[in-house]
Each structure stands twice: as C-alpha cells, then as structure tokens.
Amino acid sequence: MTPDPYIDRAALRTLPLEEKAALVSGVGPYHTHAIPAIGLPAAEVGDGPHGLRTETGVEMVWIPSTGFPTGSALGATWDRGLVGEVAAAIGEEARAIGVQVLLGPGVNMKRTPLCGRNFEYFSEDPLLAGELAGSYISGVQSTGVGACLKHFAANNQETWRTEVSVEADERTLREIYLEAFRRAIEAADPWSVMCSYNRIGGVHASQNSWLLTEVLREDWGYLGAVVSDWDAVHDPVAAVRAGLDLEMPGTDGRSAGLIADAVRAGELDETVLDRAAERVVRLVERTLPGGRSVEGPVRAEGIVPGAELTDSQAAALGASRHHELARRASVAAHTLLRNEGGALPLDPASGRRLAVIGGFAETPRIQGGGSSGVQPIQVDTPLSAIRRIAGDDVAFAPGYAVPSTTFYTEEAWPTDLDERRRLIAEAVEVARAAETMIVFVGLPLSDEVEALDRTTLALPEVQLELLAALAEVGTPMIVVLAAGSAVTMDPWHDAADAILLTWLGGEAMGAATAEVLFGIAEPEGRLGETFPLRLADTPAYGRFPGKDRLVHYSEGVLIGYRWYDAKRIDVRYPFGHGLSYTSFEYSDPRVRAAADPQGGFEVELTMRNSGSRPGSEVVQLYVGELEPTVVRAPRELRGFEKVRLAPGAETRVAMRVTARDLAYFDEARSRWTTPAGAYRIDVGASSRDLRVSVSVSLGDEGIPEALRRP
Ligand code: BGC
C-alpha cells in the first residue's frame, strides 16, 4: 500500500486558494480533481455495492462485471467471512478496471419494507448490518480499493429523498439509525463515508455539523473522507464548514469559486478548507496502486463500456472465479421459509414429473434498479439449471409475461387480459400433468428501484391470479420467491408446500436455486428482516412517507422485530428465520464473566446437528433488560455465529456480550448507560424461536453480580 503521506502536505497548504477549493469537489460524475504540480492524480470512483458499476466515458453504458447477490441477500447469509470474500472480489474487479473507490456498502436501516432501496441494504438490525459492513469494508480495502460507507444517515425512504427531513429523537438516531455506521467504522475504518440526501432535524446531511463533525469525527474519531451523495450538496460553503470533504459530482468550478470567495470574505476559515483538502488527498493516496503515477491507475487492456469481454479480459477480472463465488454467496443467502412435510429437497432421481412455471424462471430478477445495477458477465437461468440437474423433460410454462427491463427501468407489466388468461390456463394445464410444480414469482423491478418507494407489499396481481389458479390444481407446489425486501403472502401462503426465498441473488442465482431445490446445496439463509403479515402491522405504518416533506420517526427505537415483539404482533416470518434440511439442538448454555476491562460476559453453548444431512445454523443471541425504566425492545440481537456441522457433529459456540451491548442512549445525560439489574439472554434460531436462556444481573459498574440459569 502507498506510504502515507505521499503528497507533500506543506506544498498542499501553500497551493493557491482556488486550487485547494477545487480539490473539495469532483470533476465530472466520477473523478476527483488532479493537481499534477504536487504529483496528485485524479481518483475514479464507481458504484457498488454488489458489483462494480462504472460508466466512464460513456453515458449509462457500463463495463461488464460480476453481479453478486444484493445487500439484503448478503445480509441473509449472516456470514462475515463470505461477505468479506465477495467484497474482495468486487475490489479486485475495481482494481482491474482502474476504479479506486467503491461506493458501498449501504447500511441504512429498513424502517419500512416499502423503501424502494431496501434490496441494497443488509438488515433492519444495526448489529447485523454493522458487522457485515465491517467485513465488506475490510474485504474491499484488502485490494487497495477504498470503500465508501453509505448513506450517512437516516436515508430510509426514497420518497422526497433529497428534501425529506427526518424528525427523530437522538436516542433513536444513536441506537438504530447511526449504530450500524458506528460499528462498521470502528471495525474496519472505511476510507470514505457518503452522506445522504435527506435532512435530519431540518438540516441536510451534507451540511449537518452535528452529524458530520460532532458524531462522526468527535464522538467516533473518524479520520477518513466524507463524500456527498450525488448532488446532495445545496450550499458548498456550509457543507465544508459542517465537515464535508468532497462534493460529488463536479460542478465545473462553481462550488470552488463560492468556497474561495467565502474564505476571502472571512466566512469560511481557511484551515477548515485545508483539512477537507487534506482528507481528499489522503483518500486518493490510499487508493493508489504500488506503481503510483500522476495518471493514476490504468484500466485493464482494452476493456470498454458496453462491449462484451474477451476471454483474456474476463480472465483479467477473475470472472469465472467470481461467478463461482457469486453462486456460493447466493446459496448462502437462499432462505427456506416453509417446508411442509419435507417437500424440499426434491430428488432428481425419483422420476417424478416436474413442471417449472413462471417467467422469472427464464428471466430471473437478479438485482434491483438504480445506481447499484451492474451489467452482469454471465447470467445463469433457473430453468436451464434445473433441466441440467433433472433432465430436459422438465416441463415449462411462463404463466405470466415478464416485461423487458433496462438497468434503471422496466416497461409496464402487460395488461392484455386475454393474453394473461391464456398464459394462466396454459400453466394450469402444465401443472396438471406434473407431480410437483416449482413456481417462480416475485417482485417486479419497478418495486425495487432507487428514487421510488413501493406502494404495496403484495406480489403483482397477475402472479396472485396465477398462484390462485395453480392452487386449485392440487399438484404439490414449491414457490420460489425473488424479492429484495419483505412481501406479504396472502392468500397463497398456505397453498405452498414449500417457499424458498432467493432474494435478488446476482448472476449465478439460477444455478444456486437449482442446487438448493435438489439438495445439492443446503439453504443457508436466515431473514435479516421481518416478513410481516400485513402492511398495517409494520412499524412506520401511518408515519410513512410523512407529510409536507417531514417524516416523524415516532415509533422511536422500535423498528423491525423490536416493534413486533414490543407490540406483540404476529408476523409471517420473524427476523432470523430460515429452515434447514437438517435439524439442530441447542444445549448446555454457560455464562462466565469476561476478565478484560470492557466488562461484560461470554455466553457459551453446545450446538449439535441432530439431523441426517450436513447443514448450517445461524446461532443468534438476544439480550433484553427485564424491568427497563425506559422503552426498550424485549430483546435485541447482540451476537451471532454461523456454524456448519456434519450430521451428528457438535461444537461449542461462544459469543461475547459487553456492557456496552446492554446499554441504551440516555438522552438526558447524552451518553450510553448500562442500567444495573437483571437481563435475560436468549439464544435461538430466530427472534421467535428461542431455544436456551440464561439470565445475568449487573451491578452498577456493568459487572455481572451473579450468573445463574433461570
Ligand atoms: C446514489 C448513491 C450512488 C451515487 C453514485 C446516488 O444517486 O444515491 O448510492 O452511489 O448516486 O452513482
């Protein structure tokens, strides 16, 4: 890695004012400003988070890159190591293409399942999102490419995204909406952080000194660069003053002029500008490859946007290795929600007549729309992958027509009623002739796209009609569901023998789905977000998207499972849920005080694969204060481990809980407080499938007084 500092700081400070001011905004859509006189090249940034998107040189035409499962799918893996591997692969591709900063990961919380960008985000829980983001950042940065943690902060809806003001109390912000950022920064020190579009308490994030200076710099000690979301800066002088370092995209010198004028007029302290300029320089320095040059990194030979990769170019990107990794990551995300009577896995050798139904089996939904969309290198389709395993005589009927899409948009879903009926009737015939049907349904792209929120949690009407007609047939029905965010399942849920959620699984999803259906691979995913029974049950219902561009987070800290648990609301599938083809036993929990100064304790238990197949389980540890004096969720995720075990095998799993993990943010005293008293610790397979419990009671110092089983 480039030694630091590489650029002479004294020379930087003595640059003409205009030149320093120019450094704190970009050039064009994706570059930073170069200053050859001091040896500073431009850096190129490119989108993530689940594959490299770069459109250098050509408007809206991209260089092919490996499409990995999107954020919510990666969230469902609960696998720190795997997320790190995926991120390192994306970093490697960025390196080969010459992109130095990758605009991801995204760790915004899912306040409502209607948020159009939920597919990009890991979870409704800050611990899960923050831990996975930490692994992601370390993975990207291990390749010498900078990560850009986004969107800081409270960007939880797309409606009015550039103006909406989030009105939330500080406790809610600190515990829920800032916490994943804090954890990720503490764990992995991203070289940049991207501020969000929205306002918080009336002040745009890009100009919010509480957010960018008090919280980020002073409380958390963050030393990297703060980059704006694209066009999120309204007043460049106010932004620099508040702690922003780099405005993106470039403004053709307009912002630099305003900033230089403000310094000359004594409205902006020059040392504040110097500090921002230094942080931009440091970001560029950190991302320079070993053989640094003023021209910056060089793009792999001949790769141009919009063109197919040649074999040697694909090899330079690591395309086949990364495709295999994308498949593995997709398998790890596949979440088996329901499996009545062991309907899955299917046995390809059983000779059962199979039918595949649904347009998504031929045209899979592998990603969402907007800045995260990549041009995938090689897409596996589920239908061909299923036929490869179960034979070419597997029948197929589309059941509904999938409109064609671009990366950003989708044509309207077909409304020709006669055609709709014909496709459904044909699918019913195919289902009748089969002994098992595998039905592919899911959300349309238009429901999972940047800059727009969803209006419903239901599947498209045409798919609901298809499912209703198929349910009448009586052939056992496996539903394969593609969605990057929660959906409701009425009225078809009970008619499905099995429901396998693929999420938006990236370019190798088709192969992964087929492997999971036939038990060649195990479904390893667990929900990183609750699937509610109905929209009216969700935490932000009636408080979203707000009014007059103001949104009040009056549900406070109770989002996701915290809300459903506190309000005792039944859900379709709880946070953390996901079935396995095998079964696990949890036993012998022990708690022991941790010896180090952080305080807290370690919880240890035995996990045993009690079934007959190899498989994985995500062991989840939840903590709840028994008699809180402030509103607290009954339980909050405070630890998790993914264990993979052979049949009959067992292992001890240990998870650490610090005193900080038991704390809440005390607004009156403006600090984290760990109340003395009793806490219950539950370990289980989901937030509502708790298998073993212990309780601890804490003294004032957060040290366990007594450790005992309940
Ligand atoms: C998105 C960011 C993205 C940026 C650059 C913005 O519209 O909100 O997530 O990184 O564009 O493409």
Q: How far is the CA of 229 from the centre of ligand 1 (A)?
A: 6
> Is residue 459 domain-shared with residue 347, that is, in the same domain?
yes
Best of 117, 230, 248, 407 for a ligand 1 pocket test (most atoms within 8 Å of beta carbon): 230
Compute the average pLDDT of residues 124-146: 97
408 lines ligand 1 (CB under 6 A): no
Q: Whose CA is nearest to atom 9 of ligand 1?
A: 371
Terminal-to-terminal C-alpha distance of the chain: 52
| CATH number for position 607 | 2.60.40.10
For residue 515, is it within any domain? yes
For residue 531, is it within any domain? yes
Instruction: Tell me the per-residue pLDDT of 236-277, one tens digit each, with 9 for 90 and over.
Output: 999 999 999 999 999 999 999 999 999 999 999 999 999 999
CA 184 to CA 107: how far, in whole Å? 9
Q: Is 229 a catalytic residue?
A: yes
| CATH number for position 344 | 3.40.50.1700
For residue 292, is it within any domain? no
Domain end point (choices 516, 546, 576): 546
150 lines ligand 1 (CB under 6 A): yes
Q: Exposure string (b/e) for 627-639, b if CB count within 10 Å is 16 or more? A: eeeeebbbbbbbb
> Is residue 615 domain-shared with residue 663, that is, in the same domain?
yes
> Is residue 628 domain-shared with residue 506, that is, in the same domain?
no
Domain end point (choices 530, 546, 562): 546
For residue 49, is it within any domain? no
372 lines ligand 1 (CB under 6 A): no
Best of 31, 47, 101, 102 for a ligand 1 pocket test (most atoms within 8 Å of beta carbon): 47
338 lines ligand 1 (CB under 6 A): no
Q: Say what percent of the chain tops pLDDT 70.
A: 94
Q: How far is the CA of 493 from the centre of ligand 1 (A)?
A: 36
Query: For the chain, give me the number of helices (H) and strands (E)?
Result: 18, 27
Q: Whose CA is nearest to atom 4 of ligand 1?
A: 230
For residue 88, is it within any domain? no
Sequence-separated (6 or more) residues with CB below 8 Å from residue 177? 108, 109, 153, 154, 156, 166, 168
Residue 58 has pLDDT above 80, yes or no: no
> Is residue 537 domain-shared with residue 599, that is, in the same domain?
no
Instruction: For residue 371, give the ligand 1 atom closest to its CA.
Output: 12
Q: How far is the CA of 151 from the centre of ligand 1 (A)?
A: 9
> Is residue 347 domain-shared with residue 475, that is, in the same domain?
yes
Instruction: For residue 197, give the ligand 1 atom closest to its CA.
Output: 8
> Is residue 628 domain-shared with residue 515, that is, in the same domain?
no
Compute the average pLDDT of residues 651-676: 93
Domain end point (choices 546, 567, 592): 546
Q: Whose CA is nearest to atom 12 of ligand 1?
A: 371
For residue 703, is it within any domain? yes
pLDDT in the model for residue 698:
81
Instruction: Tell me the per-residue pLDDT of 408-448, one tens digit each, with 9 for 90 and over.
Output: 778 888 889 999 999 999 999 999 999 999 999 999 999 99
For residue 400, is it within any domain? yes
The answer to whether 120 and 70 are in contact (CB under 8 A) is yes
Compute the average pLDDT of residues 381-410: 93
Q: Whose CA is nearest to atom 11 of ligand 1?
A: 230
User: How many domains in the chain?
Assistant: 2
Domain extent at residue 636: 584-708
φ, ψ at 410 (rounded to 5°): -135, 140
Residue 199 has pLDDT above 90, yes or no: yes
The answer to whether 120 and 553 are in contact (CB under 8 A) is no
For residue 223, is it within any domain? no
55 lines ligand 1 (CB under 6 A): no
> Is residue 541 domain-shared with residue 590, that is, in the same domain?
no
pLDDT in the model for residue 502:
98
158 lines ligand 1 (CB under 6 A): no
> Is residue 536 domain-shared with residue 606, that is, in the same domain?
no
Instruction: For residue 120, give the ligand 1 atom closest to its CA.
Output: 9
pLDDT in the model for residue 1:
45
pTM for the complete prediction? 0.96
> Is residue 536 domain-shared with residue 593, that is, in the same domain?
no
Strands 498-501 and 335-339: antiparallel
> Is residue 352 domain-shared with residue 487, that is, in the same domain?
yes
Catalytic option among 125, 229, 380, 682: 229
371 lines ligand 1 (CB under 6 A): yes
Residue 708 has pLDDT above 50, yes or no: no
Compute the average pLDDT of residues 448-467: 96
> Is residue 369 domain-shared with residue 507, that is, in the same domain?
yes
> Is residue 608 domain-shared with residue 483, that is, in the same domain?
no
CA 111 to CA 553: how far, in whole Å? 9
50 lines ligand 1 (CB under 6 A): no
Instruction: For residue 155, give the ligand 1 atom closest to its CA.
Output: 8
pLDDT in the model for residue 709:
36
